[in-house]
Amino acid sequence: MAQRARPANTCPVPKGILLIIGGAENKGEETAKDKQTPDDFKRLEVLKKLVELTRKDQPVIEMVTTGTSDPKEAFDDYKKTFAKLKIKHVGHIHHYSHKELFEKDEALLERLRQTDVIFFTGGNQLKYTSIYGGTQFLLALKDRYIHDKIVIAGTSAGAMVLSTPMIYAGNDEVQELGGMIKVTTGLEFLKDVCIDTHFVHRGRFVRMAQVVVTNPTCVGMGIEEDTAIVVRNGLDVEVVGTGTVIIIEGFHITESSIDDFTEERPITIRDMKVHILSGGDKYQIPQINPPHV
């Protein structure tokens, strides 16, 4: 008996757009924080790009402050900043526990259906994953990202949580020691991509290299402060802002010492590939894994 042909396993191309910010984005100051201002510096450049991506004069923006310990301050800060851009419709979403989301919240889901932007602020990325993982909130947001022209943005911890894998621990004091970087599953808007923020300012290159060498299928993207990447179609990346984005690829690594991490020695990696991109540069995320749901 002839075998039936297997159906093609294809994934939908997301209609939504991601804006992933390296933290400390300019909020109207005359210079970019902690850096010499380049000649092409533009006040509010990254947040102006956020509004531009909606293609609306008055988009609805929902700020999610669940990752921060001071939600009122974080929300008020962004509301004042968006007022400088003449944006009037800025809502506030904050949750303190996973339990709060057990019951289906129709009012919250309706807000998700009506908004043009969901913006995750900084703070603690584990709060985002532990509170929103497996909830109707996250399912509804992913559904909109796939099927609608929504913009999903995040800064600092709120940017790191948008990818998988997601770094949640391992600072500059231990990043050179093999096996000392802690990684978990993020919210998975980008699969096989690891996002790190404040990348140049806090010297996080080696910790990202550890993530890539432990899983060479994964691409590492380190984003400088006041800098962001726009991701269209789930794959097409464009850099905006005053700094750089460092992309680390491990597809052709020939040698590493990561499997000998018990000795607490500095890590060795050979033939890792690095790209350094700045404003206007583009990059396409490689598809190494076959499409999967």
Q: Tell me the three-class secondary structure of 167-184, residue by residue.
A: EEECCCCCCCECCCCEEE
Q: What number is the average pLDDT over the span 45-54?
A: 98
Band of pLDDT at residue 262, cut at 50, 70 and 90: low
- Looking at residue 87, what is its pLDDT? 98
Select from 104, 154, 92 the least CA-distant residue to 129.
Answer: 154
291, pLDDT greater than 90? no
**Among 28-42, 88-102, 124-138, 230-244, where is mean pLDDT lowest?**
28-42
The DSSP code sequence of 126-137 is HHHHHHHTTSHH
Band of pLDDT at residue 293, cut at 50, 70 and 90: very low
Q: What pTM was estimated for this model as a whole?
A: 0.93
40, pLDDT greater than 70? yes
Backbone angles phi, psi at 115, to 5 degrees: -75, 155
pLDDT in tens, 166-225: 999 877 766 677 778 889 999 999 999 999 999 999 889 989 999 999 999 999 999 999
Band of pLDDT at residue 59, cut at 50, 70 and 90: very high
Neighbours of 109 (CB within 10 A): 15
- Looking at residue 292, what is its pLDDT? 54
Helix (H) or strand (E) holding 232: strand 227-232
Q: Residue 85: which region, alpha, beta or left (left: phi > 0; alpha: psi -120 to 50)?
A: alpha
- Looking at residue 5, what is its pLDDT? 52
Select from 216, 161, 156, 215 the least CA-distant residue to 185.
Answer: 161
Band of pLDDT at residue 265, cut at 50, 70 and 90: confident
Burial of 293: CB neighbours in 10 Å, binned 0-12, 13-18, 19+: exposed
242, pLDDT greater than 60? yes
Q: Show me where the domains of the chain are located.
A: 17-27+42-284
Helix (H) or strand (E) holding 231: strand 227-232
- Looking at residue 173, what is its pLDDT? 66
Among 169-173, 250-254, 264-268, name the most confident range: 250-254
**In this structure, are residues 246 and 214 in contact, taking their beta carbons and an 8 Å threshold?**
no
Band of pLDDT at residue 261, cut at 50, 70 and 90: low
Q: What number is the average pLDDT over the span 142-166?
A: 97
Question: Hey, which bits of 87-226 come out as E strands?
Answer: 90-93, 117-120, 151-155, 163-164, 166-169, 182-184, 190-191, 193-197, 219-223
Select from 112, 13, 17 the least CA-distant residue to 55.
Answer: 17
pLDDT in tens, 79-116: 999 999 999 999 999 999 999 999 999 999 999 999 99
- Looking at residue 1, what is its pLDDT? 41
Secondary structure (3-state) at 222: strand
7, pLDDT greater than 60? no
- Has domain 17-27+42-284 been given CATH number 3.40.50.880? yes
- Looking at residue 89, what is its pLDDT? 98
Please, what is the average pLDDT of the chain? 92
- Looking at residue 169, what is its pLDDT? 85
Would you state the structure tokens that stand for residue 243, as one six-digit string?
């700094």
- Looking at residue 71, what is its pLDDT? 98
